[in-house]
Structures are given as C-alpha cells and as structure tokens.
Amino acid sequence: MADWLTSEYLEAALRRYYQDNELRVESMVTSPALGKGENYGAVLTRIRLVYSSKVEERLIAKTLLENEDAETRKKKAPYDIYNRELEIYEQVLPKLQKLAGEQLCPQVLHIDRERGALIMEDLSYKGFVMAPRLQRLDEQHVSLVLRKLAKMHAASAVLESTFSLTKYDKGFFNRYTESFSAYFLGCLKSCAAYLKTQPGYERYAKLLEELAPHYMGLGLRCFQPEVAHINVLTHGDLWTNNMMFKYEAGVPSDVLLIDFQYAFWGSPTLDIHHLLNTSAVEQVRCGLQMKMRCVYHDVFVAELQRHDVKGQRLPSRKQFHLESEQKRFYAVHCGLLLLPVLLNNDDTDADFAALLSDKPRGMNMKRRLYLNPGIQDSIKQMVKQFELEGLLDPWQFEGL
C-alpha cells in the first residue's frame, strides 16, 4: 500500500466529498483487494473506515504500481493509462451514466491526479462480487455484460457529438508506439513453441512464427476507427476481473464495469471480441458468438433509437456482423495471447515488468503461461478455427 494513503489523507478526501469539515476518521484497516497475478496494471487496496458517529465506509483505493523499474515505466508511458483513467472517471463516465439512465461503474469519491490515484466505493459491500476468473463466464453472465456494454457504448456515440472522445486513441495497438511489442510477440512466440510440442499442431506453430513480423500491423489495423462504421468509447480491457456482478437467487441480475485504463475510441466489436475470447466458457466462445453479438446489437440499436440517432449510424444486424468480421483478427490476439495471461495460475514473475520484457525472466514467464492445462485445449481449438477463417494469414487484408 502507498505510504501516503493514511487516515489523514482519506479524512481530507471524505470531507471534500461530503462537504463536511467536521468529519473525523476514527479508525482505518487496509488489506490487498487482489492477489499477485490477479491484476497487472495497478495496486488495489481495500479500506475499512470508521468516522464521525461510528459511520462505516468501505472503499477501494486504486494506486500506481510501486517499485516499478524504469524500463517498464518507459514502455508504459506512451499509453498514459493512469491519466486517461482518471479523466474518464472524472469527466466522461458521469455523462455516460446520465445518458444511459443507470449506473455503469463504481461511484468515485476522490481523484488525485498528482498521485494517479482513485478512491471509489467498494462494490463488494453493495452485493457485487467478481466472478471466478479461472471458471470463465457462462451465457447468462456474458449476456448481462453485453447488455450493459451496449448501453455504455450507445451513450458514448451520443456524447461524442458534444464532448470529444476521439482523443482517446491509445488502445493496446496504436499509431504512437509499439512498446508492448515484447509482450505481444513474446506471447505469440511462446504459443508457437507450445504448439510445436503437440503432435499434429506443428504447422500451426509455423503459421504463428510466420505471422510474427506482421503481427503489430494487423493489430493496429483492427484499432483504427472506420469512417463508414459506428465508433464508440470502448472499455478496452473487457475481461472477468474488470467487472463485478450482483446476484438474485443465484442468478446474475446486474453488472458494473471497472478499470478504464485502456478505454479508446474505436469499433464496439473489439470489446465483444475481447470478452468472448478471454472470458467466456468454451460453449459460449465456440457456439454462441453470433448469438452474443445479436444480444449486444439489439440493445445497442434500441439505445441509439431512444436517443433519436438515425441514418448509417444505426447498423443493421448484417452490417454489424460484417463490421465484427472485419475486426476479427483481434480475436486471435485475445484468444491466443491475452487468455493465457488472464487465466494464469502460476504467480512466478507474474507482473507487468515480466510481460513487457524480452529478457530471460520475461520470456520464461511467458513460456510458463502456455504450460497451464486450463488453457491448452482452448488454444488448440482456437488456432484451428482461426486458421480456417484465414486469420493466421499475414496478407489477410490484401487478397491474393
């Protein structure tokens, strides 16, 4: 936990939020909100406060990673993830929630731009919990997330006409930097190395190796907004640990989204590819992708119609499927590279510095990702499907 995150600091923050200069913090207890390997982008601290008149407050502090080495900080700097998230929580999400007519994310009590910190409500004390990441999400959970996502996306398409969102153009792939290339290409090569050890998969390993020199360019092409398509403010990192569910009688009834560090302006289909290929159970990922797109599309279009949006910005179901297919190379990235990271069950060197490093520590960490039995069957199924779809072809956008 950051040493500046004291009871005095939180007392001052709560006084400003509640506009109560008499508020006094009487006790404070902290604990880590997530374990090693559960989150790579920040430190999350759970806080229990008792203040004036024995009022209890449960908070989450999201703060910068501590003791991060200079090389890792340098590679992350072009993405500006901390300032971006603070700005989105402060300036964008309140407007999106008003347009959507419902809560989309946790309530934020304090934003500290100097320290890159957020203090927000602890949703777990309002009945929200994280779904178990290693189990992945079933159809009910995925459908609920897509409906919430569609409302956020539609609100952003409406908001963009009066509040510029196109400036958020630094997704995982962007035109300013390739500083994540060691992470992405290291995982790609580790995936190929694993497939080489599996009888009958050697040719898929060779295809991945041949894809490597073209990989960053193909990813960038996915992240470029298409003028003829509808574009939105995406979440950018839509997987199980970046959402919290509420349940009624064991059935998921609501979901809120968290962690907007990689939010960017682009195709809404990228969030859908991300969710389905990193976080959905195999039955949903393999057999229900088309149905899940339709779940999203129905709500998305209904929300745009509610806001009286007309014309080509209302994609037909067919158009939406075509736009999704045009961006489907991102499914390769999410399934073959992100899935092993997000379902990692070995916390040895499980940190962002290792992901971004092409040195032995980093490469060994990425190699171990593919030794996880929990993802190996998925990798094998996906690589075969992606090859059939032509998504492992370096020249897939160029024709023959």
Domains and CATH numbers, the chain: 70-105+127-388 (3.90.1200)
User: What's the rounded mean pLDDT across residues 197-216?
Assistant: 98
Alpha helices in the chain, H assignment, sequence order: 7-18, 70-76, 81-87, 93-100, 139-159, 181-196, 202-211, 215-223, 268-279, 282-287, 289-306, 317-326, 329-332, 339-342, 352-355, 360-369, 373-388
70 versus 288: the higher-pLDDT residue is 288
382 versus 312: the higher-pLDDT residue is 382
Task: Scan for tokens 């910068």, then name that residue.
Answer: 64
Among candidate residues 377, 115, 376, 139, the one with its CA nearest the CA of residue 275:
139
- pLDDT recorded at residue 392: 98
- For the cut 70, the answer to whether the pLDDT of residue 36 exceeds it is no
Among candidate residues 55, 62, 123, 127, the one with its CA nearest the CA of residue 88:
62
User: What's the rounded mean pLDDT across residues 321-347?
Assistant: 97
- pLDDT recorded at residue 400: 56
Helices (H) and strands (E) in the chain, counts: 17, 10
- pLDDT recorded at residue 39: 54
**pTM: predicted TM-score of the whole model, two decimal places:** 0.95
Contacts of 114 (CB under 8 A, 6+ apart): none
Q: Are 371 and 365 in contact (CB under 8 A)?
A: no
Contacts of 161 (CB under 8 A, 6+ apart): none
Residue 38 and residue 72: Cα distance in Å, rounded?
Answer: 19
- pLDDT recorded at residue 40: 60
| Confidence band for 310, pLDDT divided at 50, 70 and 90 | confident
Rounded mean pLDDT of the chain?
Answer: 94
Residue 187 and residue 193: Cα distance in Å, rounded?
Answer: 10
Residue 85 and residue 79: Cα distance in Å, rounded?
Answer: 11
User: What's the rounded mean pLDDT across residues 364-386?
Assistant: 97
Whole-number percent of the chain with pLDDT over 70: 97
User: What's the rounded mean pLDDT across residues 220-235?
Assistant: 95
Residue 282 and residue 386: Cα distance in Å, rounded?
Answer: 15
Q: Are 77 and 229 in contact (CB under 8 A)?
A: no
Read off the tokens for 66. Answer: 């501590």
> Lowest-pLDDT range, 153-162, 204-213, 304-313, 344-353?
304-313
User: What's the rounded mean pLDDT across residues 368-388?
Assistant: 97
Our CA angle for 122, 127, 132, nearest 5°, is: 85
Residue 325 and residue 220: Cα distance in Å, rounded?
Answer: 15
User: What's the rounded mean pLDDT across residues 98-120?
Assistant: 96
Q: Which residues pair with 63 in a beta bridge?
A: 43
Tens-place pLDDT, residues 279-304: 999 999 999 999 999 999 999 999 99
Whole-angstrom Cα Rg for the chain: 21
Sign of CA dihedral 255, 258, 260, 261: negative
Task: Scan for tokens 């072809």, then name that residue.
Answer: 393
User: What's the rounded mean pLDDT across residues 226-252?
Assistant: 96
Sign of CA dihedral 24, 28, 33, 36: positive
3-state helix, strand, coil in the chain (%, to 5): 50, 15, 35
Tens-place pLDDT, residues 241-257: 999 999 999 999 999 99
- For the cut 90, the answer to whether the pLDDT of residue 42 exceeds it is no
- pLDDT recorded at residue 37: 53
User: What's the rounded mean pLDDT across residues 141-149?
Assistant: 98
Read off the tokens for 362. Answer: 């980093």
DSSP assignments along 265-277, one per residue? EE-HHHHHHHHHH
